[in-house]
Structure 1
Amino acid sequence: MNEILPVADRRTVRQYARQVARDHPRELSLVIGLHALAAMVGLVVPRMIGDLVEAVENGTTVDHIDKIALIIGSALALQTVLTRYARFASTRFGENLLARLREDFVKNSLGLPLGVVERAGTGDLLTRTSRDVESLSWSVRYAVPETIIALVTVVFTIVASLLVGLWVAIPCLLGVPILWVGTRWYLRRAKDGYLRENASYASINATLAETTEGARTIETLGVQDRRRKRIDADIAESYAAESYTLWLRTVFFPAAEMGYLVPTVSTLVIGGWLHSQGHASLGDVTAATLYVQFLIDPVDRLLGWMDELQVGSASLARLLGVTLVPDDRSPSGEVPANDRLDVDEVRFSYIEGREVLHGVDLALRPGERLAMVGPSGAGKSTLGRLLAGIHPPSGGRVTVGDVGLTDLPLDDLRGQVALVTQEHHVFAGTLRENLALVLDDTGADGDATLRTALDAVDALDWADALPDGLDTVVGSGGHALTDAQAQQLALARLVLADPHTLVLDEATSLIDPRSARHLERSLAAVLHGRTVIAIAHRLYTAHDADRVAVVEDGLISEIGSHDELVERDGSYAALWRSWHG
């Protein structure tokens, strides 16, 4: 079972919301001010209608009626204009806020320790970047502005109704206990319900992704029924989670309707009695009833959007949860004295109590080409990841220039050591953009720099053959690159990134052996003077290396040149005979 990334608590979510409000005081004040003006102008109408009723009761003229009608019409027209600009300001504020949330999430996601992402799997992070961002987008664009409108309207409507007479407070207060109890009951349960719902989507995505990516393996092992049962269980959990939140709404919304009905009926009853006793005019009763009726719509919208806000709050908590992942490195500010990479008594375990590496020692000379070979599961890739600074060791140290790799900031680390694996990603965009993303500036040479990198990894011929050359759109929705071409693209990025040490973990595994050997020799020529650690099962890589390290059972059992190890007639010699023969 994959670990789920953390979720922010209510306090963290509230702190973030307050920080956003402090960072945008003018925009927020403008939004609230415009909505307040629109609400105030709209409240003229019930008062005018009450005055009209009272005037008709006492006898009036056509001119007086026309005057009131003109005031009502003018108020409605002005309210329409103010509402238009208020909603425009709300939408603009919401879009700016959403842009900030997205940028913060992308920044925080890119800063996640790779080990954490691997343990959590792709499903949870994918759900946060898709469904949670989409839910939050809806909340920011619609729920937040509508809630602000409803709150402002409620406040000014209550004030206006109390100006009619303090007695109006009685029917208004009668509906409060129903709404208060119902809302409190709902809020105590809603967030956890929606978090459970979103977590169930993450599980479904993870299972689907794993099943799709491993379809051939699943078919080979004959475990299709087990995978179907797994996805059925995930769907059942999602169904249960959604049923629970639906049940909450079916209880909460009818209770809210009762909270609307009681004040309206009470206003008519109390107002009618006061009018019969001569304590309130017919105009006051009419205005009070209309004000209470006016309250229904904003309160209803407030409670209705509250449900959407709970969804958005749960999504925001999941997005902010990415910031709660503890960093796996603590930059010291030290600068490496040289490019020498050293491994000193390094131990590592993915699961506590189950070590993968057991006290590995290794010293790499700058500019050396080291090949790491050994049986599957021996710890080669794990050692490679520690050499690239992906994981901090559980014990011992991995240093560059006497500075621990995990003591370097990530940006500095990537300028020192880079890892390229058989896994690769082609971003949606042009081939030029895919290459240039590792550069702050392509320099005066422009495309010549990119073409040189492609030529270094034998990719220039097929790049020039693309329909639009470097301007060809690749990745999702664009021109499909083969696995070999995608790997060459990843290697070209490394040439452009120009680190002094490269860790190649089966980096050419998807290229046919003849092309791979030519590619590796070309790459070696380009990376002359740099340290290269190549992890591979193809032993011609070891043959061409300066030294070979044989990794067995989490330890380096042999190290030396190809000829030395063959002459030693140990594990490497046996591997060489088996592979070469």
Structure 2
Amino acid sequence: MRRKRRRCSHEADPARCGPRRDPSARPPAGPAALLHGLAAITGLAAPRLIGGLVEDVQNGTTAAKVNQVILVIAVFIVAQSLLTRWARFKSFALGEQVLAELREEFVDNALALPIGTVERAGTGDLLSRTSRDVDTLSRTVRFAVPETMIAFVTVVFTVAATMLVGVWVLVPLLAMTPLLWLSTKWYLRRAKGGYLRENAAYAQMTSSLAETVEGARTVEALQRYDERVRRTDADIRGSYLAERYTLFLRTMYFPVAEISYLVPVVGTLLFGGWLHINGNVSLGAVTTAVLYVNQLIDPVDRLLSWLDELQSGGAAFARLLGISDVQDDRTPSGRAPSGELVEAKDVRFSYVDGRDVLHGVDLTIQPGERVAMVGPSGAGKSTLGRLVAGIHPPRTGSVTVGGVGMTELPLDELRNQVALVTQEHHVFVGTLRDNLSMARPSATDDELMSALAAVDAREWAEALPDGLETRVGSGQLALSPAQAQQLALARLVLADPHTLVLDEATSLIDPRAARHMERSLAAVLEGRTVIAIAHRLYTAHDADRVAVVEDGRISELGSHDELVARQGSYAALWTSWHG
């Protein structure tokens, strides 16, 4: 099943989506091809005129005639230069437009990827696609494609003009065909796979380096230097071997190709000279043919040179296009939820085939109820929360809101129903206003400040140099982890879903501040369904019910007082935490 893309509705929300790109604004390819053809035709005049001049000189001519031919050749050369410049401009403009659309399509596809797919692939793979592969494709679209089109058009017209000189020219031209065809076939058969392996090896190296940098303190604390160095060396060696293979292909192919397209020049001169000696063709025809065949060297050489870039660009394009072929993890049914009741029935889920982390979980959450999930690390709390938030579909069973499966709702509609806030957060480069208004583009300044106030962030936000206009994020004003987490929670307030899944959402704030902020947030979230996943048990104390998750199952379910009275797992956790 092909992915159904999540695209902006420009009519419904132009502020969020930005200006619509008009496909009709793209420069058509026809004028560029026509200009290249005209430039190639003007370039064919000089050899014909020179060949005619040779015959005139042989038969006797005047200096005025020679000067006239030279002037005409000069006019054609100037015309060819002007047409070539104009044609290149049109080609490069078309290339930039196509590249811009490819980038937009890539961003659209990347944002539509299932989160589980992104997590399995790792940040290094996506980073290499957005950096190295996009750069490679940029070079291909900007230079390789226009240059290849120019060379191809020139070759076609030059060969046609050569045939007009005489059919005999086919003999030396065809002499190069077997060698060039066999070497090109040998190269193309291996090049695509080689460049795909090269890009994949580079992605692995990038992922490993990013992981080492992000976990530098852990590496230092556990003294895993040597292990990380060995892994990095292995990744670098893998990238080196992949690049050496493609280099081997080039060093084998290009020398053979260069010999193959030099053969016709020598062959035309020798064969044409033999025909002229025997009185079959004129000296002017031989001169014209040799000049035409020699003129083929440059475009053929460019075709072969850019062929390597086209192979690399094709591999990059395949990797960029590959994300659009990722199978969707949800199938919108078109049904609308009939309420806000959240139910999980006989839910089983696994990240790896054959190893379930949830085992037949049943849980019903009434509208407006506050449920806390507690339990030891690795018990499956966060996994269950992600299923309730519609991040992953269950392997078996169902997770529904208002009777409709979470993965049966389009993502935009799902996020209006259920929102997930985790320990992970991100501050985007831009103003504080930009970071907040992405949750609700139509929000006013008063609404933005109210959302900040709801999470105890208004005081520090107002103290910023430019208030809501202060630029934050990478390279700008750095927010502390606690401030970044408050910003994420403020977005949640603005998004205003009826069901919230808070997965350790206040873990980076000190306990006293977190307690105060959660009380403020509770006032804003009054009447909403809240599923809170936390190790701090005061969250469970305030909840309507507590679900104790152990070994992928809900072992206890009830209010705080009920579970303490049972003297089970929760009571032991409470006693241990409370002292």
**TM-score band, normalised by shorter chain:** over 0.9
* Distance in 2 (alpha carbons) for counterparts of 1:367 and 1:303: 68
| AA matched with 1:256 | A
Fraction of identical pairs, as percent: 67
Q: State the TM-score, normalizing by the size of structure 2.
A: 0.94
SS in 2 for 1:69: helix
Query: Are 2:529 and 1:531 aligned?
Result: yes
Taking the aligned partners of 2:409 and 2:141, their CA distance within structure 1 comes to: 38
Q: How many residues align?
A: 557
Deviations, residues 71-103 of structure 1 (Å, cap 9, x unaligned): 111111111121111111111111111111111
Q: SS at the partner of 2:428?
A: coil
What corresponds to 1:271 in structure 2?
272
**Counterpart of 2:333 in 1: which secondary structure?**
coil
Q: Establish whether residue 563 from structure 1 lines up as the match of residue 561 from structure 2.
A: yes
> Do residues 324 (structure 1) and 325 (structure 2) align?
yes
- In 2, the alpha carbon distance for the partners of 1:439 and 1:97 equals 32
Q: Superposition pairs for residues 274-423 of structure 1, below 5 Å? A: 274-423=275-424
Matches within 5 A, 1:17-32: 27-32=28-33
The worse-fitting range, judged by mean Cα deviation, of 95-104 and 186-195 is 95-104
Larger CA deviation: 135-144 vs 566-575: 566-575
Is 1:545 aligned with 2:543?
A: yes
1:138 corresponds in structure 2 to 139
Contact 2:169 2:289 in 1 (8 A): yes
Q: Distance in 2 between matches of 1:476 and 1:88?
A: 36
Q: Secondary structure at the match of 1:93?
A: helix
Cα shift at 1:356: 0.6
Q: Point out where structure 1 has 5 or more consecutive residues left out of the alignment.
A: 1-21
Shift of 1:57: 2.0
Displacement of 1:137: 0.6
1:184 is matched with: 185
CA distance in 2, matches of 1:114, 1:266: 62
Q: Secondary structure of 1:425's match?
A: coil
Secondary structure of the residue that 2:331 maps to in structure 1? Answer: coil
* Alignment check: 8 A CA contact 2:36 2:84 kept: yes
State the SS of the aligned residue for 1:201: helix
- Name the counterpart of 1:455: 453
In 1, the alpha carbon distance for the partners of 2:321 and 2:25 equals: 19
What does residue 257 of structure 2 align with?
256
Alignment-derived partner of residue 500 in structure 1: 498
Is contact 2:27-2:94 (8 Å) kept?
Answer: no
What's the CA shift for 1:108? 1.0
Task: Give a deviation string over 1:23-60, Cα, whole Å, max 9, x none.
Answer: 99971212211111111111111111212222222221
Residues of 2 paired with 1:387 and 1:538: CA distance?
Answer: 21
The residue type equivalent to 1:315 in the other structure is A
Q: Deviations over 1:506-564 (max 9, x none)?
A: 11111111111111111111111111111111111111112111111111111112122
Q: Does 1:43 align with 2:41?
A: no
Confirm or deny that 1:473 pairs with 2:452.
no
Match of 2:4 in 1: none
1:208 is aligned to 2:206: no
The residue aligned with 1:514 is 512
Amino acid at match of 1:551: V
State the alpha-carbon separation in 2 of the partners of residues 523 and 87 from structure 1.
60
Q: CA offsets, 1:275-319, max 9 Å, x none?
A: 112222222111111111110000000010000000000001101
Counterpart amino acid of residue 348 in structure 2: R
Q: Whole-Å Cα distance in 1 between the matches of residues 518 and 63 of structure 2? A: 96
Q: Secondary structure at the match of 1:558?
A: strand
Distance 2:54 2:516 in 1: 94
1:300-344: CA deviation from partner (whole Å, max 9, x where unpaired): 000100000000000011011111211111110000000111111
Give yes or no for the alignment of 1:489 onto 2:492. no
- After superposition, residues 55-66 of structure 1 pair within 5 angstroms as 55-66=56-67
Deviations 1:230-289 (A, max 9, x none): 111111111100100000000001001111221010011011111112222222111111
Distance 2:55 2:26 in 1: 44
What RMSD over aligned residues (CA atoms) do the two structures have, in Å? 1.5
Q: Distance in 1 between matches of 2:304 and 2:431?
A: 47
- Is the CA contact (8 Å cut-off) linking 2:209 and 2:232 kept in structure 1? yes
**1:400, distance to aligned residue in structure 2 (A):** 0.1
CA distance in 2, matches of 1:352, 1:194: 31
SS at 2:400's partner residue? strand
What TM-score do the two structures reach when normalised by structure 1? 0.94
Give CA-to-partner distance per residue, 1:110-143, whole Å, 9 cap, x none.
1111111111111111111110011001100000
1:449: Cα distance to partner? Answer: 2.1
Residues 23 and 356 from structure 1, CA distance in 2 versus in 1: closer, same or farther, beyond 3 angstroms? farther
Question: Match of 1:129?
Answer: 130
